[in-house]
Amino acid sequence: MAIVDSMNNTRLPMQVTPADWPGGYWWHWLFFTVILIVFVLVMVMGAIYIERRGLGRMQSRLGPNRVGPFGLLQPVADAIKVLLKENIVPNSADKVVHWLAPIIAFVPAMMIFAVVPFQNGALLADLNIGILYVIAISSVSTIGVFMAGWGSSNKYSLLGAMRNVAAVVSYEIPLVLAVIGVVLMAGSLSLNQIVLKQDIPFILLQPLGFLLFFAAGCAEINRSPFDLFEADQELVAGFHTEYSGMKFAMFYLVEYGEAIAMSAIITTLFLSGWRGPLLPPWLWFILKTLIIFFLMVWTRTTFPRARIDQLMALAWKFLFPLALINLFITAIQILVWPDALPWILIFINIAIMVILILLWSKFFKLGWGRIEV
Amino acid sequence: MTVALSIKEIASQIEKKYPGSIEEAAPNSLIVKSDFLLAIAGYLKDTEGLKFDYFNYVSAVDYYTYFEVVYQLTSLEHNHTVIIKTRCYNRENPTVPSVTGLWQGANFQEREIFDLMGIRFEGHPNLKRIFLWEGFPGHPLRKDYLQ
Amino acid sequence: MTTTGEITFKTEPFVLNFGPVHPSTHGVYRMRATLDGEVVLDIEPVFGYLHRGIEKLAEERTYTGFIPLTDRLDYISPMSNNLGYCLAVEKLAGIKVPERAEYIRVIMAELQRLANHCIAVGSFLSDCGAMFTPFMYMFREREKILDLFDMVCGGRLTYNYMRIGGVSQDIPDEFLPALQKFMGTMPGMIEEWENLLKQNEILLARTKGVGILPREMAINCGISGPVARGSGVKWDLRKADPYCIYDRFEFDIPTGEVGDCYDRYRVRVEEMKQSLRIIKQAMEKVPSGPVRAEVPHLIRPPAGEAYAHIEAPKGELGFYIVSDSSIAPYRCHVRPTSLINLTALREMVKGWKVADLIAIFGSIDITMGEVDR
């Protein structure tokens, strides 16, 4: 068949399997699938640990430090606890929807890692539409969240799920526009190519893009200061109020899995992925991902929460125009000065970012006030 | 210093405006008849020189033969205060006009008195039990309430 | 019905129950909120989940035996409750309190005000979504105050310290140096919180202009304390009707202008600074002498009635006591600050969103122990 022929044909520019991989296609697939699943689970546990210790230390208290040395086994203890809990399903819940929701929410979070490069050429599938795949897949977990909210037959869950859908749909646009700036600079949609082109990390060449992507990414994955979908103080637990036991663990995994996935994407797009001196590349990759994740934890500790209409106003009136302007300026820079010295470009871009953000925030009104009832 | 107004003076002022309304002018408080309560309260709230715009509290005491409803009013402008009382002698069905129309702060407190003492307030927008559940037998704060 | 321009969507309001068990209703408080989407149309508060019949119990306890019960009224600031009750009985019986006891009482009341505002501001900020960070910082300071109270009376939550005619026991020798040490660090802490929070964009967007309580309504509803002062009512019982020896100290009364959540929050922080001022002045002049007047064990005040009110941290707390010269009060009525402050909640939240409902409710700062008694 054509597919098998193309897999064995080593002259195609796009390779699913590298030519020198022992065992061919299926061993490559098995090896990377196992590595990815292990990687995601271990990184999620590491993320949970970093979050709880980091949050604790920043709030002038110790985080968990009883289970294992320095509390390192705390996520394991959490996992065991959650597995042993009783699975309660509300009587009037829609059984099938309630059961399917965590799975539909979790699978896309894992699938994003299929195109993230750990080393030069070391990824599960070197698609030449890498970043488009990432953006498409990451939106699917919203369906899972909405199913959870609807299937729980609980008004709190429904409120949380509605907020989530509205916000995710709105924040897709600044997210995508910020990514296109990077794609223009790199000249390819494939994540491996984007890393290979980053002699200077794109965070310096696209500072505004980085900030936009970070903000929009935080809103997509339900992290503070935009974590109002599961706002503890208002909606008890938002869309996963009625979940317990393993299904709750899946939602928990989704939250941290998506956080790690978003950090990994930011690392590949803006911080030049696995590139770096001295240490092995995959170690650089993990380190950079954890640094970005720590940045997310830091913003979570520091800021209060936005309100839903303020969130929407931020997406549409602040991030979206800035993303468009960023795109235009990047395009102009690439067309007019394709060979410009990078340092001038860096300087100009940072200056533009500062001016734009300051100017825009002056004209920007966050949300609207009281509605006459 | 918040001054407690001289009861004699107020009593004479009110007696002129609403003759026959004062039951007794005790040293610290003014006891009025419950029919005139709303009128006197309105008079106290709006007259220049009195201007009792701040409603401190309303409470009720059970004196075996009668109930006494106690109001304390303060004027923020003139910094003086006065205590008004009214008595209901009807043990089965005591009724007093409600001052919620004049001072909204009386809303929850009158509901509490209805709940715990059983005194009905006419004209209250939402007179139902506040602390105890609907269908609770009796009114606990009365002196003759047994377990 | 919600109308956007020319299009009208037919929507139906639904009732959402913020039940007695909720992460941020400050105790067992229940609201049935009628919502149209996210907009609050009406709320109906339901009380009584913490009703213990304290006023009825007063008729069976002796005058001194009732003091522990006053601890449990507003369990966040028990010293003030004790003080109010003791003042009422002293007014009824005509007992004069010795000088040293007066100074100790003032110091304790102001320390209690600091501790209460720590919780009030901390919970208000965590209701706005700040993920417990300011809550933890303020609790760290409250712990120092609770250590001071522990030194004096052996308790951290219910003190039972004030007695009729003075206080129950003298302050130990190490109290004043420890208080001095505390006074050295506290202004720096308040400064630190101010720097972090006063100009925070998200906090300003969440609280400025939200939940406005007009001045006329505040006076009409009998609202007192920081809530009224936030609306511009310059009424503080420590200046208007001085009790204890407050007329000997110099302090200001911070007042807001608009009456929104931000003003109430600012008023509380400024009041903390003024409390520090009062404590400093009181600490320098504590005379020596007895700490309790000579009163019999079983007090029988002469027949009559008295009402004494104090400026508790939450507002005007008053005790109306009727005595028939027996060992127990004939009737003891507590003027419940929190219940009266809640009178205006319904008007304040109409037209705002769910997130604002929680923030406005948090800014009024109530304790259910006082509401339900």
Angle, CA of A159, A164 and A167, to the nearest 5°: 125
Which domain, by its residues, includes C199? Answer: 57-349+357-372
Q: How far is C372 from chain A (nearest CA, A)?
A: 23
Chain B residue whose CA is closest to C324: B63
Q: Please tell me if residue C354 touches chain A, with a CB cutoff of 8 Å.
A: yes
pLDDT in tens, C64-77: 889 988 888 888 88
Indicate the pLDDT class of residue A14, thresholds 50, 70 and 90. Answer: very low
pLDDT in tens, C289-304: 888 888 888 888 888 8
Cβ-count burial A217-227 (b if 16+ within 10 Å, e if not): bbbbbbbbbbb
- Predicted pLDDT at A5: 46
Neighbours of A141 (CB within 10 A): 24
Whether C256 is covered by a domain: the verdict is: yes
pLDDT in tens, C30-52: 888 888 877 888 888 888 888 88
pTM of the model: 0.85
- Predicted pLDDT at C38: 77
Per DSSP, the residues of C321-338 read: EEE-SSSS-SEEEEE-HH
Chain A hits for C126, CB-CB cut-off 8 Å, are: 233
Amino acid in the structure at residue C123: S
Whether C297 is covered by a domain: the verdict is: yes
Indicate the pLDDT class of residue A4, thresholds 50, 70 and 90. Answer: very low
Give the mean pLDDT of A275-279: 79
Chain C residue whose CA is closest to A361: C201
Q: Please tell me if residue B71 touches chain C, with a CB cutoff of 8 Å.
A: no
Q: How many CA atoms lie within 13 A of A372 on its CB side?
A: 1
Read off the CATH number of the domain in which C104 is found: 1.10.645.10
The pLDDT > 70 percentage for chain A reads 87
- Predicted pLDDT at A10: 41
What is the spatial distance between Cα A255 and Cα A259, in angstroms, rounded to a whole number?
Answer: 6
- Predicted pLDDT at A155: 76
Whether C41 is covered by a domain: the verdict is: no
What is the spatial distance between Cα C68 and Cα C90, in angstroms, rounded to a whole number?
Answer: 17
Q: Is residue C351's pLDDT more than 50?
A: yes
Contact A234 C125 (CB under 8 A): no
DSSP class of A317: I
Indicate the pLDDT class of residue C7, thresholds 50, 70 and 90. Answer: low
- Predicted pLDDT at C327: 87
Indicate the pLDDT class of residue C113, thresholds 50, 70 and 90. Answer: very high
Query: Do residues A321 and A328 touch, judged by C-beta distance below 8 A?
Result: no
Q: Residue C270, by phi and psi: left (phi above 0), alpha (psi -120 to 50) or beta?
A: alpha
Indicate the pLDDT class of residue A9, thresholds 50, 70 and 90. Answer: very low
Compute the count of residue pairs across chains A and C with CB atoms less than 8 Å apart. 99
With the C-alpha atoms ordered A256, A258, A264, A266, is the resulting torsion angle positive or negative? negative
Give the mean pLDDT of A211-235: 77
Cβ-count burial C272-288 (b if 16+ within 10 Å, e if not): bbbbbebbebbeeebee
CA dihedral C64, C66, C71, C77 (to 10 degrees): -70
The pLDDT > 90 percentage for chain C reads 13
pLDDT in tens, B74-125: 888 888 888 888 888 888 888 888 888 888 888 888 998 988 888 888 888 8
Matching residue, tokens 């209460």:
C116
Here the tokens at position A82 are 């959650």
- Predicted pLDDT at A251: 85
Indicate the pLDDT class of residue A11, thresholds 50, 70 and 90. Answer: very low
Whether C24 is covered by a domain: the verdict is: no
- Predicted pLDDT at A12: 39
Give the mean pLDDT of A171-182: 89
Whether C14 is covered by a domain: the verdict is: no
Whether C29 is covered by a domain: the verdict is: no
Indicate the pLDDT class of residue C112, thresholds 50, 70 and 90. Answer: very high
- Predicted pLDDT at C12: 79
What is the spatial distance between Cα B91 and Cα C66, in angstroms, rounded to a whole number?
Answer: 29
Per DSSP, the residues of C189-207 read: HHHHHHHHHTT-HHHHHHH
Q: Is residue A166's pLDDT more than 60?
A: yes
Here the tokens at position C195 are 């720097």
Give the mean pLDDT of A351-369: 77
Here the tokens at position B115 are 């709940």
Chain C hits for A296, CB-CB cut-off 8 Å, are: none
Q: Is residue B14's pLDDT more than 50?
A: yes
What is the spatial distance between Cα C57 and Cα C331, in angstroms, rounded to a whole number?
Answer: 10
DSSP class of B2: P
Contact C131 A55 (CB under 8 A): yes
Please provide residue C82's backbone torsions phi and psi, each rounded to the nearest 5 degrees. -55, -45
Terminal C-alpha separation, chain B: 44
Burial of C53: CB neighbours in 10 Å, binned 0-12, 13-18, 19+: middle
Q: Which of B2, B104, B112 comes nearest C240 by C-beta?
A: B2
Q: Is residue C136's pLDDT more than 80?
A: yes
- Predicted pLDDT at A21: 65
Q: Residue C306, by phi and psi: left (phi above 0), alpha (psi -120 to 50) or beta?
A: beta
Indicate the pLDDT class of residue A99, thresholds 50, 70 and 90. Answer: confident
pLDDT in tens, A251-267: 888 888 888 998 999 98
Give the mean pLDDT of C153-158: 86
Chain C residue whose CA is closest to A160: C38
pLDDT in tens, B45-59: 888 877 888 888 899
pLDDT in tens, C182-221: 999 888 888 888 888 877 878 888 888 888 888 888 888 8
Instruction: Write down all domains in chain B, each with its CATH number in brackets.
Output: 3-106 (3.30.460.80)
Provide the number of structural domains found in chain C. Answer: 1
Amino acid in the structure at residue C168: S
Whether C45 is covered by a domain: the verdict is: no
Give the mean pLDDT of C222-230: 89
Matching residue, tokens 């090896």:
A31
Q: Which residues contact C55 (CB under 8 A, 6 or more apart)?
A: B116, B141, C331, C332, C333, C334, C373
Neighbours of C111 (CB within 10 A): 24
Whether C83 is covered by a domain: the verdict is: yes
Query: Do residues A322 and C221 touch, judged by C-beta distance below 8 A?
Result: no
- Predicted pLDDT at A372: 67
- Predicted pLDDT at B133: 84
